[in-house]
């Protein structure tokens, strides 16, 4: 038989609109990532050689925040040892056990090993939680600004109830904010420390929320109704600064254990976003369903990374040393941002800034909506973002990317991919732009 070579010009795929038009309404209805769209603008400016302080990236620059050396060496060793076949779909037992002990040390909460499953970073855990809890049309309740709840809700066809959180509460929800909406909700999604705000749910606030969930579920179970579940995202749980207090929901209200799905991973705690190791912890009855779901997706963490992470999570001294160094680096950058913008506010510039308590973010307001700069009328956060990027080389992500609808001038600043020097150098440029606001 003669095999004919494919034509040199390659394959033709027809009219893209026709091919796309036949795809599912879910696929065609998904919004692309706002943050990636903004990143493309930033790259274009950097390519022109313009000075840019890039505070858009929710990731760590490996040159400034490398992964722990023992973790890296452990992955290389595991590869050489032939740890390259399928892991169990809920994770290798050594890692699930290491996660149990890690959570005991971090939060004082002990899960049974059947209550732990390993996932490929935090995202599959979130997706599986939404998928396993919510039927199409069920309600998911979350505060805004928050990270990606809107995308996950769209993927499972849930009804969304976004509750605006207030500046005075550090843009975090309170039990009072949530109370009117709890009776209709099937899932409450919380995250602390929070992306994008860099603030925490204080233990007393968290306790009040979890007690409200337990009360709500006593009523529902007595009436034979489906309970309210809680997704608690602890992805930034180890990045807490300046003595702020942070708690695990089951440390403050253990009675909520049947209803809480918590998630964490190495992505942010150990600057290891590309290694893809995360985990979900919940009642074994929930984990068992999540395991079945994600097993079909194949969203497990790579086996060499699992082997190395299992060893690393037991390295108490190594973790303490790594964390001290990382906190120093992150705190220096967050302090530089916070004190620089606070100084400008105190000098009378139209600026507000929330003191960061955790994660890698600072909330900044440039109160310029309704003003004009160089003849450009600023009527939305998007116009503001572009003006500030093009004229001051300050790249930020407006809170709109985190579900906020109102144009209030608030944005997220991320400190993971800039140096303190990059930050210091941007302030004179920002001042110059603010000095040029049309009178």
The residue among 290 and 373 lying less far from ligand PLP, judged by its C-beta, is: 290
The residue among 268 and 365 lying less far from ligand PLP, judged by its C-beta, is: 268
- Residue at shortest CB range from ligand PLP: 121
Minimal distance in Å, beta carbon 422 to ligand PLP? 21
**Residue 321: CB atoms within 10 Å:** 12
The residue among 278 and 304 lying less far from ligand PLP, judged by its C-beta, is: 278
CA 274 to chain centre: 14
Minimal distance in Å, beta carbon 180 to ligand PLP? 25
Q: Which residues of 228-250 are buried (b: 16+ CB within 10 A; e: fewer)?
A: bbbbbbbbbbbbbbeeeebbbbb
Minimal distance in Å, beta carbon 225 to ligand PLP? 29
Minimal distance in Å, beta carbon 235 to ligand PLP? 4
> Residue 233: in which H helix or E strand, if any?
strand 229-233
The residue among 360 and 433 lying less far from ligand PLP, judged by its C-beta, is: 360
**Ramachandran angles phi, psi of 135, nearest 5°:** -85, 160
Cα-based torsion angle of the residue sequence 6, 9, 11, 13 in order, rounded to the nearest 10 degrees: -160
Q: What is the CA radius of gyration of the chain?
A: 23
Give burial (CB, 10 Å; 0-12/13-18/19+) of 205: buried
Minimal distance in Å, beta carbon 144 to ligand PLP? 13
Minimal distance in Å, beta carbon 155 to ligand PLP? 14
How far apart CA 262 and CA 196 sit, in angstroms, is: 19
Task: Give contact residues for ligand PLP (rule: CB under 6 A).
Answer: 58, 121-123, 147, 191, 195, 233, 235, 265, 267, 273, 278
Minimal distance in Å, beta carbon 149 to ligand PLP? 10
Minimal distance in Å, beta carbon 136 to ligand PLP? 23
Question: 246 with 262: CB under 8 angstroms?
Answer: no
The residue among 42 and 125 lying less far from ligand PLP, judged by its C-beta, is: 125
**Ramachandran angles phi, psi of 178, nearest 5°:** -85, -30
Q: Is 187 helix (H, G, I), strand (E, B) or coil?
A: strand
The residue among 162 and 265 lying less far from ligand PLP, judged by its C-beta, is: 265
Question: 378 with 437: CB under 8 angstroms?
Answer: no
The residue among 273 and 381 lying less far from ligand PLP, judged by its C-beta, is: 273
The residue among 232 and 427 lying less far from ligand PLP, judged by its C-beta, is: 232
> Residue 99: in which H helix or E strand, if any?
helix 93-107
How far apart CA 23 and CA 18 sit, in angstroms, is: 9
């Amino acid at each position: 038989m003669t095999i004919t070579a494919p034509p040199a010009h390659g394959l033709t795929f027809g009219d893209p609109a026709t091919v796309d038009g036949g795809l599912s309404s879910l696929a065609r209805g998904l919004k692309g990532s706002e943050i990636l769209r903004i990143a493309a603008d930033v790259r274009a400016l950097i390519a022109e050689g313009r000075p840019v302080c890039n505070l858009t990236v929710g990731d760590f620059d490996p040159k400034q925040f490398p992964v722990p050396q023992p973790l890296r060496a452990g992955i290389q060793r595991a590869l050489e040892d032939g740890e390259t076949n399928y892991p169990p779909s809920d994770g290798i037992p050594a890692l699930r056990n290491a996660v149990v002990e890690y959570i005991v040390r971090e939060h004082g909460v002990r899960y049974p090993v059947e209550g732990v499953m390993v996932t490929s970073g935090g995202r599959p855990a979130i997706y599986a939680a939404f998928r396993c809890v919510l039927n199409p049309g069920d309600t998911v309740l979350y505060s805004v600004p928050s990270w990606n709840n809107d995308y996950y809700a769209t993927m499972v066809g849930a009804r969304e109830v976004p509750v605006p959180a207030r500046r005075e509460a550090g843009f975090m929800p309170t039990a009072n904010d949530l109370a009117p909406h709890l009776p209709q909700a099937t899932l409450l999604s919380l995250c602390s420390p929070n992306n994008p705000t860099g603030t925490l749910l204080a233990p007393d606030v968290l306790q009040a929320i979890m007690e409200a969930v337990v009360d709500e579920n006593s009523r529902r179970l007595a009436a034979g109704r489906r309970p309210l579940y809680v997704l608690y995202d602890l992805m930034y749980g180890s990045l807490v600064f300046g003595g702020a207090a942070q708690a695990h929901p089951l440390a403050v209200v253990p009675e909520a254990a049947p209803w809480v799905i918590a998630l964490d991973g190495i992505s942010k705690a150990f600057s290891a976003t590309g290694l893809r190791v995360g985990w979900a912890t919940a009642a074994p009855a929930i984990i068992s369903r999540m395991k079945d779901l994600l097993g079909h997706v194949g969203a497990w963490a790579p086996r060499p990374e699992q082997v190395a992470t299992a060893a690393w999570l037991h390295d108490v001294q190594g973790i303490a040393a790594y964390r001290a160094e990382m906190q120093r680096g992150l705190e220096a950058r967050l302090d530089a941002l916070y004190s620089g913008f606070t100084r400008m506010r105190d000098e009378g510039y139209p600026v507000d800034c929330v003191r960061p308590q955790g994660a890698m973010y600072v909330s900044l307001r440039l109160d310029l909506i309704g003003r004009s700069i160089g003849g450009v009328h600023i009527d939305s956060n998007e116009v503001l973002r572009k003006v500030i990027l093009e004229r001051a080389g300050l790249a930020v992500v407006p809170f709109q990317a985190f579900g906020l609808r109102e144009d209030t001038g608030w944005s997220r600043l991320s400190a993971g991919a800039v140096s303190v020097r990059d930050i210091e150098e941007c302030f004179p440029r920002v001042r110059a732009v603010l000095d040029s606001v049309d009178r």
